[in-house]
Amino acid sequence: MGITREKSHELYAATAALIPGGVSSPARSFRGVGGGAPVFITRAEGAYLWDADGNRYVDYVCGYGPVILGHGHPAVAEAVARAVRRGAVVGAPTPAETQLALAIRQAIPAMERLFFGNSGAEAVEGALKLARAATGRPGVVKFEGAYHGHSDAVLVKAGSGAATVGVTDSAGTAGAAAGAVHALPYNDLEPLRELFRQRGETIACVLVEPIAGNMGIVPPAPGFLEGVRDLARAHGALVVFDEIITGFRVAYGAAQQALGVTPDLTCLGKVIGGGLPLAAYGGRADLMALVAPEGPVFQAGTHAGNPLSVAAGLATLEVLARPGVYDVLDDRAAYLAAHLEALAREAGCPVRLNRWGSMFTLFFTDGPVTDYRTALRADREAFSRFFFALLDRGVHLAPSPFEAWFLTLAHEEEHLAASLEAAREAFRAAGHQHHDDDAPERRVRRSGAARETQAR
Ligand SMILES: Cc1ncc(COP(=O)(O)O)c(C=O)c1O
C-alpha cells in the first residue's frame, strides 16, 4: 500500500478556510491539474523537497525559477545568516546593494543603472511607468501567454498561473479598460507591424519575455526579437525585456547576451535574489535619470534592496560566475530532456519538448509549440495524468501544463536517473485515459508512495 498525503489534505482544509484556494499564489493550486489538495512542503534541501507527510520528491519547480544552485546552498545560507546578524532591514543604503548593482551591470552591460524592488511584478510595473514617462505615450504591447506579474497593465491574456486557473484577464484592473494594453501573438511580427502602422505614436514600449516562459518555454523564432527592436525603434517606442525568469538562468549575461539583442530596459527577479525576494529594473542611463529622487517617476519600498535578499543574491551570483557553471546546467538538462523524449516515444505518447539551457517544457502535443495558441493545443488531461503519476513516484512538477521544469546545480545523475525511472511509468499513465470516474483529488489521497519517504 502506498503512502498517502493525509497531512497535506488536512493542512489544505485548514488553509483554504483562511486563504482563497489555500495558496498564496494561484500557480501553486492544483486547479490546473483537475483540483485537489496541493502538497504542503516542510523542507527543501539540494534537489529534494519533503512534504508534511514525510514523502520526498525530486524538485523541478525550484520556487518557479529562483533556485539555481539547489535549495539551501551553503554559500547562500551562510551569507543570509551573516546578513541577518547585521540587520535584516535598515531603511538606508548598504554597501552590499552597491556591490550587487555593480555585479549586475558587469553581467548585463545594458543595465547601465538600475533600481531594486522586491518582486518581479514591481520591477515590470516600474519599467512600464518609466517607459510611459520617457515617451509621453500610454500604450504597452505585450504578447499573448506572457506573464509579467500581477500589476494592472499586464493582466491581459496572461500566461502562467493566470492561464492555468482560467483568469487570463483579471477582474478589477484599470489597464485593459483604458485600452492602453495590446496583447499580440508571440513570434509573429506582422500584427506588431500593423499595430505600429495604425497607432505607433501611442505606443510607449514593447514588453517581451525574450525566451517565453509562461506559456511553457517557447524560444523566439529567428529574427523575432530583432524585428521587435527594429519596429519599436522606427516608431520611437522602447523595448523592455522581461528577464525575470531568464536573467542569470539561461546565461550569466541573461537572454540578451545569449541572443545578441539589446533592449532599452531590462527587468530582473527570481535568480538575483538567490531564493529571497528581490527584483530590479534598469537600462539606459538617460532613461534611469527619470527615476525618483532624480526624476519624476516614483517607486519605493520598505524592503527594496533588502539586505538579506541582497546577500543571498550576491552569494548566488558569485557561484554562477565560476567558469563552466552554465555548461554543467545545460548538459544535465539536455540529458534529462533527451531521455524524457525517448521514454515518451517508447510509450507512444506524443510530446514536444522546448528547452533553453536548464529550463524546459514538455508539451503533450504532436505539433510544434511556437506561441500561446499552439501551447493551448497541448492535451491538458494527459499532462494531469503525467503530473500525478510523477508526484506519486517522488517527482515534483509545477501543477500546470504552462510551466517549466527548472534544474539546479544540485540536480545530479542520481536525481535525473530516479526521475527518468518515474517518467517511464508516468508516460504510460499519460497515454491512457482513466476509465474510472475518480476525481484527481481522490487519486492523490490514496496515491502510491513517493519512492523515498524518510525524512532526513
Ligand atoms: C517573466 C515573468 N515576469 C514577471 C513575473 C512576476 O514576478 P513575481 O512573481 O516575482 O512578481 C514572473 C513570475 O513568474 C515571470 O515569470
Q: What is the pLDDT of residues 55-92, one digit of tens each?
A: 999 999 999 999 999 999 999 999 999 999 999 999 99
Q: What is the pLDDT of residue 178?
A: 57
Q: Are residues 46 and 185 in the same domain?
A: no
What does the alpha-carbon distance between residue 353 and residue 116 come to, in Å, rounded to a whole number?
A: 34
Q: Which three cell numbers stand for residue 144?
A: 499573448
What does the alpha-carbon distance between residue 353 and residue 371 come to, in Å, rounded to a whole number?
A: 14
Q: Are residues 339 and 234 in the same domain?
A: no
Q: Are residues 129 and 223 in the same domain?
A: yes
Q: Are residues 141 and 206 in the same domain?
A: yes
Q: What is the pLDDT of residue 451?
A: 29
**Domain CATH number, residue 286:** 3.40.640.10
DSSP class of 274: T
Q: What is the pLDDT of residue 449?
A: 32
Q: Are residues 210 and 358 in the same domain?
A: no
Q: Which residues line ligand 1 (CB under 6 A)?
A: 64, 119-121, 124, 147-149, 160, 209, 213-214, 242, 244-245, 269, 279
- Catalytic residue at 366? no
Q: What is the pLDDT of residue 296?
A: 96
Q: Are residues 316 and 328 in the same domain?
A: no
Atom from ligand 1 closest to the CA of residue 243: 1
Q: What is the pLDDT of residue 440?
A: 47
Q: Are residues 141 and 264 in the same domain?
A: yes
Domain holding 18, by residue range, is 6-71+324-445
Q: What is the pLDDT of residue 343?
A: 98
Q: What is the pLDDT of residue 176?
A: 59
Q: What is the pLDDT of residue 395?
A: 98
Q: Are residues 38 and 117 in the same domain?
A: no
Query: E-strand spans in 194-312?
Result: 203-208, 238-242, 265-268, 279-283
Q: Are residues 253 and 293 in the same domain?
A: yes
- Catalytic residue at 7? no
248 C-alpha to ligand 1 centroid (Å): 14
**Domain CATH number, residue 406:** 3.90.1150.10
Atom from ligand 1 closest to the CA of residue 121: 11
Within 10 angstroms of residue 53's Cβ, the number of other Cβ atoms is 20
450 within domain boundaries: no
Give first-to-last CA distance, the chain, whole Å: 22
Report residues of the chain scoring pLDDT below 70: 1-2, 175-179, 433-456
Q: Are residues 132 and 182 in the same domain?
A: yes
Domain boundary among 320, 343, 375: 320
Number of independent structural domains in the chain: 2
Q: Are residues 417 and 273 in the same domain?
A: no
Q: Are residues 247 and 158 in the same domain?
A: yes
- The model's pTM is 0.93
